[in-house]
Amino acid sequence: MKEEIQDIVDDNDNVIDKKTRAEVFEKNLQTRGTMIMVSNSKGDILVHKRTMNKEISPGLYSLFLGGGAISGEGYEECARREIEEEVGIRAKPEFMFKFKAMIGKLPAFLGVFKVVYDGKIKINKEEIEEAFFIKEVKLRDFMKSHKFSSDSIMGYKLYLETIMREEK
């Protein structure tokens, strides 16, 4: 399998170079990625547990699907690819916002999207150990009693702030 190439970006999210995924992780280079929140039409949120073989946040829960963008790939294209790879969803994600974060030791610009989906979830067992929908009213207690990735917690906080602003 050909090694994945990722765009390296400056502090303004402009592409300045391209490196292999291995180099990105070895040198902690700034890249792009996506986070996609999946909910169903009842408002339940998809929660998943990452497999132990993941480079970032192994074995932790997350509220977002997603991953690193391949060189030349836009945020929406990356989001579409990631949700199809991870849970078999073919859908057009809706852009919410973009923010800069540390994903483990990697600085990254993250495009955050949402998808409403009522179909069957087919998890990729190489990426996800388990996935299930949870009612939003039960989510807070679940988050208190289980370990979540730091980017998922930060992304969810920003997601809620964005929704609150939109409702005003």
Per-residue pLDDT tens over the stretch 109-168? 999 999 999 999 999 999 999 999 999 999 999 999 999 999 999 999 999 998 888 776
Is the pTM for the entire model greater than 0.85? yes
State phi, psi for 84 to the nearest 5 degrees: -70, -45
Q: Considering only CA atoms, which of 74, 93, 64 is closest in space to residue 160? A: 64
CA dist., res. 14 & res. 31, Å (int) = 10
Structure tokens that stand for 144 in this block: 């208190």
Is residue 7's pLDDT more than 90?
Answer: yes
What is the CATH classification number for the domain harbouring 90?
A: 3.90.79.10
pLDDT at position 167: 73
Is residue 43's pLDDT more than 90?
Answer: yes
Half-sphere exposure of 49 (CA within 13 A, CB side): 10
CA dist., res. 48 & res. 21, Å (int) = 24
Based on the structure, what is the number of domains in the chain?
1
Range of the domain at 125: 5-167
